[in-house]
Structure 1
Amino acid sequence: MESGSVTTPFGRRPMTLGMLASQASVRKIEPGQSIDKWKLYRALCEAKPLLGVTDRALAVLNALLSFYPKGELSGENGLVVFPSNAQLSLRAHGMAEQTIRRHLAALIEAGLLIRKDSPNGKRYARKEQGGEIREAFGFSLAPLLVRAEEIERLAAEVAAERLQLQRLRERLTLCRRDISKLIEMALEEGGAGDWNKIHLHFRAVIDRLPRSPSADQVATTLDELELLREEIVNQLEMQVKAQNESGNAQHFERHIQNSNPKPIIELEPGFETKQGAAADDRSAGSAEPITRIPKNEERGGKTATTNSASSANDRLKSFPLGLVLQACPEIAAYGPQGSVGTWRDLMAAAVVVRSMLGVSPSAYEQACEIMGPENAATVMACVLERAGHINSAGGYLRDLTRRAERGEFAIGPMLMALARSNSPVSGRTG
């Protein structure tokens, strides 16, 4: 059994006030107090950041606990273990004895162990004739029993903080996804507003977040992004409301214009028909607007192609030049003087890239006719950015042109995907 006297360290190791306080706290153990040693060890591993111990030190403590013969720590069974450093090394998976001594000193400094040295510094136990231990010299586990409630409380705090950080990260991920999708939609739909500036502000907020942020840092970033998301949603809702009001007004005007069931224009051919005219003449006169449609269709395919190209050009939305250069930075090297500052520079660089990638002039001219010169230059910049993944740049451009003519292609998703992949923080958490 342990004695209640103060024990000083052997050899040149000095006595400290911390050691004295740890030994004084051992006297506070209540009779019958006990705790499961492995349950307490799991709590120690959880509370490790707040206790100031390392995982290697906990591995040494685990080896010490394995030498305690009972499953529960209790003062009635004695709380001193006395293995040698060689035995500790075997239980600690071959850890060097010098390393074991260093971690034992760290555990004593953290107040988790008490060193009870013998007169010669050896670790051993003296037993009674019946085999009971009368006095043991080694390491006392009494501080673990005294601080059991504190250790469990610290473990609960660490677990709660980890759970809070996980929930904040989930909210941050959802908020980032919402903002990214809303900006992409606004750019694709041509919403009013400086969406390039909003996107740059969004990236700046994300860039300020470190790779391994704390809960406070994640909460601060989340507050900024939630405010930005609210502003974006309000701006888009105002635009939708304005469009709905405009659409209702136009519908009301059309309702007034068409309220007469028999317009004068439809009755005019009947008034102009003479009384003696034949029924064939009246039917021919009333069918005149219908016979004009086939005549327009018979004028040639060039007019139909021009109309489809014009409609496809109207459907495709242009994007800010800054966003195009952010998503496709490689195109800048092919501009005049090695840079791109205007749309004219981008179109000139696209012509150079077209020739370099082996795209025929006819394919590029058709893309300019269907998509518009700016959008065609933007597509060429995207093709250059993905040149390593495209087998035939000319065939790829013709396919995109045909899809744009049918209204099945939008530049926005492709541009935003490249912008995200070229972002310097594209691989971060959050």
Structure 2
Amino acid sequence: MPRTLVRDLAAHIGQQVTVYGWVNSLRLQRKLQFVIVRDHTGLVQVTHKRPDGGGELEELIEHGMPPESAIKVTGIVVANEVVKLGGLELVPTSIEVAAKADTPLPIDKQSGIEHRLDWRFLDLRHPEHRVIFEVQTTFEQAIREFAYAEGCTELHTPKLMGTASESGAEVFKVKYFDTTAYLAQSPQFYKQMAIAAGIDKVFEIGPVFRAEPSFTSRHTTEFTGIDLEIAWIDGVEDVMRFEERMLAHALAAVHEQHGAQIADLFGTELVVPTVPFPRYTMADALKLLRERGWDPSGAKVDFDPEGERTFSAIVQERHGHEFAFVTEYPISIRPFYHLRPADNPAVTESFDLYWKGIEITTGAQREHRYDVLVKQAQEKGMKLDPLRSYVDCFRFGTPPHGGLGAGLNRILMVLLGLDSIRESTFLFRGPNRLEP
């Protein structure tokens, strides 16, 4: 018999159907046996009346299908307003155990995150954990829809590189035949090559690797990056306008499809942002923070986590907005390829985007003039030979351009109000985790 999903059972009252799923729980009483069956669309109660003298079905339910066993249940859909799960139940005529689960289960609801990650496939059977990736799917689809509508070309750039993509730090080395390759810490240079190739707008959603020995709730050694580059811009403002519209579109799609579910499962209200987002220069943001007592010595030139949270709180107070751009970062903390404005060469035409106290995006207008780019690389102490295939892109007429990079897993963490990026990553990778 064809499979019927739990969410569709209400359309089959009085009919015989077959449901595939897992044993969520069992309640075995003297006269009745109750089995809660779970598939990816919901839960249904299977109600079996114990027959006089027992029987194979009674014995199977009693001893042959512990929680998390994979089963197929064939039975009649019966309306029963007493049943809390949708006001209906399934009265079984047969049950097939596709795969019996071992007992006891290695994790439960009280298990800590690290132990749950050891058994991630079991952990994700819980709806509140699995829905994270349903939200991710909707978010990615909406990002792509927006990018395609804006005329972007989707590329897939190499993840094996002959030289470190930016500074040589925070990269993983891998043996590559008789030489050394590096896992890409960013598709940055390849996006700019696409611009030099005449592709006006390019984006990618793909893996990014960072060899950072960080153990914070927001860092991971492998994540999914959302990267964008657009040509013929008038300034970095064009990039920020693109991103705020893109995020507003994607979050509206998530709100429409999952808003109620997010509120119910995570206790988080997803607010679709209005555009434009507030904008502050780094100098102005630091001034506001110091007025609140942050960094009393005045020595810091960038935010720390406390500064990020305080800044976002100030933005919320002033604008009632969860997002804010911070612009004009000093050249000392930005890469050599960020453009420096002629009227203020101590800063860069760059930005970070903050959401609820966490940085989710870094972007900038790039330096597209070959001679200026080379000079800035030399000032940063960069060796040009390993960068030759990159800097050569700017010798033959590359237009003004800019772009951004954002972490999908970090965005999901903030969107759902999760405590750690470990929760918003299918299989987390960190300094001490390469399994499962």
The TM-score with structure 2 as length reference comes to: 0.25
Structure that is richer in helix per residue: 1
The TM-score with structure 1 as length reference comes to: 0.25
Greater Rg over alpha carbons, structure: 1
